[in-house]
Structures are given as structure tokens and as C-alpha cells.
Chain A
Amino acid sequence: QQPVQSPQAVILREGEDAVINCSSSKALYSVHWYRQKHGEAPVFLMILLKGGEQKGHEKISASFNEKKQQSSLYLTASQLSYSGTYFCGTEGGGSNYKLTFGKGTLLTVNP
């Protein structure tokens, strides 16, 4: 079942912060975050594995709460280059590894 992302869209001014949420009705083993620029391929940002770990990459970080089956992506001090559509891909464990993607969150950063 497709994970639910919120919000569907968000508009920021450069330097502002944003949080994108991803929620699943199924137990999760891992959550993968991607960013896609218009007309381009999705690009990997980070993976979070079961265990509630938090990862960071410069000003973009994420958390994963497997008990709540939720993950959040945090973008701080946003830059114009952060604009794009963000997708979470979830995976429930087992040997049949495949991702189910949410519908995406469109992030627009304005000057």
C-alpha cells in the first residue's frame, strides 16, 4: 500500500525550514528519500533503516520511527537548489526487496 506524504506542496522563501512527512499503514523496515527535479530522474538522498536512526547530510536530515511507521525529512535554511518533488519509498522487510513510493511533496523555494 502506498505511503502517505504530507504536505502535498509547500512554498518557502530562501533560508526557511521545512518538514516533509511519510506515513505507512504497514510495518516498515526501511525508508528511502529521493528528490526529483522537473523532467529529471529521481536522485537518492538517504536511507533510514529500522532502529529509529536519524541521518543527516549537510542541511538535510531525516528521522525514522518504525513503531509509528513514520519518517520525516527535515530541510533547514533552504536553498533555491532544494526545489523539486520529494518522494519517500518504503520497504517492509523480507527477501523480496522492493520499494513503494508515496505520491510526492512539491517543494518550491523562492528568493
Chain B
Amino acid sequence: DADVTQTPRNRITKTGKRIMLECSQTKGHDRMYWYRQDPGLGLRLIYYSFDVKDINKGEISDGYSVSRQAQAKFSLSLESAIPNQTALYFCATSGKGRETQYFGPGTRLLVL
């Protein structure tokens, strides 16, 4: 089984709809991250969490919110989706210190 899972893997929604992307991990890591990837722009950080009670904004948090329900679960919400939020979304986890980040398989989101 994969260590970092994301659901759904693909999602099509309409402008104005609320949508939630979920991330779960079995690596026992405290730190979790949400990124979005657009062609030619690399990976940009949306939100990150160092433990259940710690939530931090990344460089592009506008229009997004997150919830850290447990050490193993970190959800990303789009309260009112817009076409500009069409992208590939990745969740990642890491342990304490300067350890590598492990990425989930990604969620491909299309907002019509």
C-alpha cells in the first residue's frame, strides 16, 4: 500500500462549488504539505502543517483552506472553486528536521 494517498485522483467540478481534497499518510510523519502544480510553474506551496495544532499559509493560500484532522490526515478545501484553480494538487509529508518530502500521487482538478 502507498504511504501517502490522495482522494479523489481526478475531479471535475463547476465554478462556485465547494470541494475537498483529502490526504492520508501511514509514514508516521508530523509534517504535511499541500502544493499545486501548473505547467511551467513548478510546485507552489499552498499550506503546511507541522503538527495537528499548527497550520501555516504558504505562498498561494488565497481561495484555499485546510484542516488537519489527525496526524495522518490533512485536507484541502476550495470554498468556491474558480477556473483559475484548475491544476494538479500534491500532498507531501516529511519527518522532523531537514528530511526529504514524500509526495502523494496527486489529484487532477478541473474547474469548469
Contacts and interface: CB of A to CB of B under 8 A. Distances in A.
Interface stretch (A13-21, A73-81, A101-109): A101-109
14 contacts: A29-B98, A41-B103, A41-B106, A42-B43, A87-B43, A89-B101, A96-B56, A97-B98, A99-B45, A100-B45, A101-B35, A101-B43, A101-B44, A104-B42
Interface in B3-56: 31, 33, 35, 40-45, 48, 56
B64 interface: no
Contacts of A43: 103
Chain B interface: which size bin?
20 to 34
Nearest to B90: A41
Interface residues of A, number: 23
Nearest to B44: A101
